[in-house]
Chain A
């Protein structure tokens, strides 16, 4: 199970890196989605996958009676999902707004903050 999941994680990372290397923001956005999900799967896999009981402690006991699944990766993934989702929403709006205002989604052409024709500083006065 872990091997299959690892292969899937590798596939996700590969797709994410490929898309992030693009100069078009829309592809980079999709790359971020892949990257976020790759990490979520990775956390899930590193928490060990096994078919055991859910981590619920019966009433009156303080420890679970049998081996249970590891609940911590799920809590971590939940946090990571919320964060990556909210960041994706922000990036989506930002990219759309930048496209509207600047008129391009090609990062090579987005040179407003660092204009190319700027010469060297004055040498004397």
Chain B
């Protein structure tokens, strides 16, 4: 061959180590897996688990915040594993959207870990509750920081295996039933994702997201690429529990411990949403413009399914399952705005900004609501609207916190659910989709009715005369764990975010707008991978 001598660039690649500062991007993963393995080693010292896990999640959260600060001030950055040159190595690229999701995930994971220390019983800790939690968080963080689409698939599987463990821990019959359905449908969903990745590799010959985004601009009229984009839409809609692929969520999310439900509802569906935004909007903008009409229908139907489903439920957690679905529909509405490639960033960027804002709000508020439902079940011994009651008198603080979360999830001011809905409704009108705006508002109204009913039954009315018949749900909460005030601590922290994002939305909407711009116009993302010359 003509070039037997190693070029200087290859030499430099082989001999330069990855800069230490860039290693920060993998810290959330390293810390999660490190603490998870340490906890496995001290599996039998159950009393240590809380003291190790809470500082562990605090460190993960600190790394997430440091990354968010770094990205917010310096723009997207990339670390290539082993200093390989793009697009050959495995890239870890973090942009503002990823960093926002990452930091919010770290926040709710810390809150849930504090809640878990006092609400999960010894036996389940002994069987590895916290290692599973760290494994799942490692998978979630990995999905947010990776810049390689096959790697994204691997992180999906990592978080899925962690979630299986958490879901089935306890092995009550309803859990086995729920886990079976959750496991099969999610596995089919990730397999569809892998099928799409395989076709993508066959067409593009690369798996690096920045490289795909660069090449997709030349293939706007390609039927194969449209097929791939549609496969991704189906796969991620399934992960996100969008209509009509939402059946697995109401079948499973109410079966494990409350803290597990809380983290699942907060995080797992949002990972699907994140991946959909990343792949559909950033990698395939031309195909996205063609599919926006379908996404709009999915969004509208998902919102209605969620809202009406919530109205028809008696059990608080099963009601919340549908509220999660309604939230996913609202996020999808932000993705439903068609925009031709090369057009000035307009309605799509503002809709996407609202979608990201709403997703972050939904992560926090759904986690908080399931945790609050756990406290309610602990206090009253039940979680169905027929048997709970009298909590306003018994615990004013819990009632106030729940009121905040219920108003926030219905999208009422002055809480965090209001502003993203304003952004989404305005974007829908700007894109001339008035029916979509109407769907957002109507689903908000129905959710307000459902939330008001929860509040009226669980808090306002006096405790009904207990007939002692409600043994059906007695497995859902741990009567063996003593009552403790600590579960309210994470709820207060989550409420502080809901209030801060609702009263001062400026700081967050500025960040989400910048994040949406970075996705709609990924020049900075591509440059961070390929260097300035790209």
Binding site for B on A (CB under 8 A): 20, 25, 28, 32, 35-36, 39, 42-43, 45-47, 61-63, 65, 72-73, 76, 79-80, 83-84, 86-87, 90-91, 94-95, 97-98, 101-102, 107, 110-114, 118-122, 125
Instruction: Give the contact-size bracket for chain B.
Output: 35 or more
List 10 A-B pairs, Cβ < 8 Å. A32-B184, A42-B198, A43-B201, A62-B6, A79-B150, A80-B194, A87-B187, A107-B180, A112-B176, A114-B318
> Could you count the A-B residue pairs with CB atoms below 8 Å apart for me: how many are there?
119
A123 to chain B, nearest CB (A): 9
| From B168, B255, B385, contact of A113 by CB (8 A) | B255
Q: Which of B6, B174, B202 contacts A112 (CB 8 A)?
A: B174
Query: Are B178 and A113 in contact, CB atoms less than 8 angstroms apart?
Result: yes
Find the B residue at minimum CB distance from A93: B168
A63 near B3 (CB under 8 angstroms)?
yes
List the A side residues contacting B19 at CB < 8 Å. Answer: none
Q: CB within 8 A of B164: which of A90, A113, A119? A: A90
The smallest C-beta distance from B465 to any residue of chain A, in angstroms, reads 12
Pick the contact of B173: A102, A114, A119 (CB < 8 A). Answer: A102
B166 to chain A, nearest CB (A): 13
- Interface membership of chain B positions 163-205, coded 1 if the CB is closer than 8 angstroms to chain A and 0 otherwise: 0100010010111111111011001100100110011011000
Stretch from B29-37, B74-82, B246-254, B491-499 that touches the partner: B246-254
B1 within 8 A of A: yes
**Docked complex Cα distance between A35 and B184 (Å):** 12
B308 CB within 8 Å of chain A: no
Given A28-B184, A121-B385, A43–B177 Cβ distance below 8 Å? no
Closest to B315 in A: A118
Map CB proximity to A onto B238-260 as digits: 1 under 8 Å, 0 otherwise. 00000000000011101100000
Name the B residues within 8 Å of A122 (CB-CB).
314, 385-386, 457
Tell me if A101 and B173 are in contact (CB < 8 A). yes
Interface membership of B482, Cβ < 8 A: no
Q: CA of A79 to CA of B190 in the docked complex: distance in angstroms?
A: 14
Residues of B within 8 A of A47 (CB): 201-202
A91 vs chain B, min Cβ distance (A): 6
CB <8 Å contact, B314 and A119: yes
A101-B171 contact in complex given A114-B250, A122-B385, A122-B457, C-beta closer than 8 Å = yes
B201: chain A residues within 8 A (beta carbon): 43, 46-47, 72-73, 76
Listed from nearest, the 6 A-B pairs whose CB atoms lie closest are: A46-B202, A121-B314, A113-B178, A98-B176, A112-B177, A62-B6
Contact call A112/B161, Cβ cutoff below 8 A: no
Q: Is the CB of B314 within 8 A of A113?
A: no
Interface string of B54-96 (1 = CB under 8 A from A): 0000000000000000000000000000000000000000000
In the docked arrangement, what's the CA distance between A123 and B4, Å? 82
Q: Are B157 and A87 in contact (CB-based, < 8 A)?
A: yes
Interface assignment of B461: CB less than 8 Å from any CB of chain A: yes
B198, A113: Cβ atoms closer than 8 Å: no
How far does the alpha carbon of A119 sit from the alpha carbon of B4 in the complex, in Å?
77
